[in-house]
Amino acid sequence: MGDFKLTTYEENEAITNRLLETGAKVGADAWQFRVKNQTPHCKFGEQGVCCRICSMGPCRITPKAPRGICGCDAHGIVGRNFLRFTAGGAATHSDHGREICNTLYHAKPEGPYKVKDPEKLIRIAKEWDVETEGKDIYDLAHEMAVLAMGEYGKVFGYQRWLKRAPQHTQELWEKAEIAPRAIDREVSCAMHMTHMGNTSKPEALVRQALRSGMSDGWGGSMAGTEFSDVLFGTPKPIDTEANLGVMVAENVNIVVHGHDPSLSEMICEYADDPEMIAYAKSMGAKGITVSGVCCTSNEVAMRRGIPMAGNFLQQENVVLTGACEAIVVDVQCIFPALGPLSKCFHTKFITTSPICQMPDSDFIRFEADTAAENAKSIVKAACENFKNRKPELVYIPDVKHKATVGYSVEAIVKTLDGVTNSQVDETGTTKPLLECITSGVIRGAVAMVGCNNPKVRSDLYHIELMKKLIANDIVIIASGCSAQAAAKAGLMDKAAKDLCGAGLKRVCELADIPPVLHMGSCVDISRMMILASELAKDSGLNISQLPVVGCAPEWMSEKAVSIGNYVVATGIDTFLGVDPYVSGSDQVAGWLTEGVRDWVEAAYTVELDLEKLGDMMIERIEEKRAAIGI
Ligand code: BF8
Ligand code: SF4
């Protein structure tokens, strides 16, 4: 075991530089160059003090001009910007969830979309007081899909999923007026509140930001995750690989990118079809390799073991290998740069959703009813493109790591039952995990989430923080691009237990798990909320008392802020490594980093220094342990 070695970010950077050399030969642009053109960034934007929500502006706040034309001050402007940012993220995740509900509505016994986890569907139906006895599973799926879509516009009441939280948390939400009503309403309300001449009071804007975030994490995202499990199966531990070396030079390489598994599941299905493999062979390839980028990759890795080519800031790299026949995208986090970049190579850039349309792409509209034909024609197009490769441009770096992924809450509960040999819990509770935490074998848990951001050296914060935390016996649950950073580096290899403190190492050995557990895509952060709720209920503690924190060290998207807001609102202290454009208002920053603690028993910490960020999380975990006397 002594020879286990992580791939360092320096090695990854060297690979990127080698790929950029190929890019230079064909005149390709890349984010590394665009960053240079865009820096230094606009100071007003960075501080959040620029307002352009009406055409009397844009107004920018300076010491000489402390108010916009309407009289709004920096606090109102920063707060409104923060709320709009959140609403963008909540809308995005939630609309993804709605698409999954729509796919569920189209599920049929003959496929292509089927109910793969009927037990989970029945479990949710019972939770929602829907009669399941004697009902055909597809009738039930359609009924549940309609009910779930109803949550987006429900006339009265709150999100159904809130009942999964401990009673205490639900009471906090109601008291603070952040329990989300209809999902769409919380986004609409955010846009309404921030229209010219509405709210400029920081407290009210921050409150609605939490509520909009809640409509995502405990609404749209939760629907996305839960019904994806129903349709495509609840993830269980599965072995896969990560980093660019998963692409195979002799094969047709199809890269799926985006977020919605409805598309990528079908691509994987048909890439495995003997008829398609024969077709690839007839085009001169040895076979077909599907790999992924971003969260759609996490989805198919968790359920099918499809390898992960990379995370957000590696999306251009897959094209730069010169060996990508098609990069097939659905929605979100897709660089418009992929259009012009793919034109420098033979790569087909295939867009599939009306939500995400880009110049220089081939648009093949992907719909639930015609999914099978759509997927087949995409796979075929990729095969036909193999012959257009330019061999002199092909370079697939020889770098990849083994990774074990697929740790849904169900899988974690089941796996950790094996750790405490004293009492294997048949009912499947989180008690064995709690026992590890209370005994101090594991000091706590950190939910590592979020993106890459050129403001941080790519993956550096994710990896260094994870290394430090596991060395301190803190287990990591990871999602999104953070999870992929871990997998690429080797932290999801079970051999990474050697980097842990003695306690966590022992748990990894006994349970046969890696120290960083892949919990899925960013919508799957709703899984983390369920796990935290279960831990609280099983321990009798409040969520805020658990030695658990969240961290998005390299975040960049509106979705990440929406997530941060619901994680904090759920009672989990959240640490950010990139500033959320609120430094222009000490009041808004004050509400986010302290004020909200009075409502939800948790708050944000923003710390740009890597060392300090890690130390602060460890300190917070130890403080929480001391407070409950463990
Ligand atoms: O939803 S972590 S860069 S891919 S936003 Fe995007 Fe960020 Fe990656 Fe997934 Ni999440
Ligand atoms: Fe300026 Fe007020 Fe209009 Fe914003 S809303 S652009 S601060 S006048």
In a 3-state reduction of DSSP, which class is residue 549? strand
* CA dihedral of residues 254, 258, 264, 267 (deg, nearest 10): -30
Residues with CB under 6 Å of ligand 2 are 51-54, 56-59, 68-70, 72, 77, 196
pLDDT in tens, 91-120: 999 999 999 999 999 999 999 999 999 999
468/34 Cα distance (integer angstroms): 32
Ligand 1 mean position to 294 CA, how many Å?
A: 6
In this prediction, residue 420 has a pLDDT band, given cuts at 50, 70 and 90, of low
pLDDT in tens, 381-415: 999 999 999 999 999 999 999 999 999 999 999 99
Atom 4 of ligand 2, residue of closest alpha carbon: 51
pLDDT score of 402: 97
Ligand 2 mean position to 250 CA, how many Å?
A: 57
The per-residue pLDDT of the chain, averaged, comes to 96
Asked whether residue 1 carries a pLDDT value surpassing 50, the answer given is: no
Beta bridge partners of 256: 292, 328
pLDDT in tens, 465-481: 999 999 999 999 999 99
In this prediction, residue 427 has a pLDDT band, given cuts at 50, 70 and 90, of low
Ligand 1 mean position to 452 CA, how many Å?
A: 8
Atom 1 of ligand 1, residue of closest alpha carbon: 522
Tell me the ligand closest to 452's alpha carbon: 1
Q: Residue 181: which of 150, 135, 203 has the closest Cα?
A: 150
Q: Which atom number of ligand 2 is nearest to the Cα of residue 59? A: 1
**Bridge-based pairing state of the strands 59-60 and 50-51:** antiparallel
Atom 3 of ligand 2, residue of closest alpha carbon: 54
Q: Residue 213: which of 625, 584, 566, 568 has the closest Cα?
A: 566
Q: Residue 549: which of 499, 475, 484 has the closest Cα?
A: 475
266/269 Cα distance (integer angstroms): 5
Tell me the average pLDDT across 141-165: 98
Tell me the ligand closest to 478's alpha carbon: 1
Which residues 6+ apart lie within 8 Å of 440 measured at CB? Answer: 473, 503, 625, 630
Ligand 1 mean position to 21 CA, how many Å?
A: 27
Handedness of CA 123, 521, 79, 579 (dihedral sign): positive
pLDDT in tens, 212-263: 999 999 999 999 999 999 999 999 999 999 999 999 999 999 999 999 999 9
pLDDT in tens, 479-537: 999 999 999 999 999 999 999 999 999 999 999 999 999 999 999 999 999 999 999 99
Tell me the average pLDDT across 14-37: 97
Phi, psi of 371 (to 5 degrees): -55, -40
522/295 Cα distance (integer angstroms): 7
Ligand 1 mean position to 559 CA, how many Å?
A: 8
pLDDT score of 418: 63
Tell me the ligand closest to 453's alpha carbon: 1
Asked whether residue 130 carries a pLDDT value surpassing 70, the answer given is: yes
Return the beta strands (E) in 191-261 as ranges: 238-242, 252-257
Q: Give the global pTM.
A: 0.97
In this prediction, residue 419 has a pLDDT band, given cuts at 50, 70 and 90, of low
Tell me the average pLDDT across 15-37: 98
Tell me the average pLDDT across 555-567: 98
Residues with CB under 6 Å of ligand 1 are 259, 294-295, 312, 333, 450-451, 480-481, 521-522, 557, 559-560
Residue whose structure tokens are 């549940």: 144
In Å, how far are 113, 241, 341, 496 from 405, measured between CA atoms?
23, 9, 31, 14
pLDDT score of 3: 77
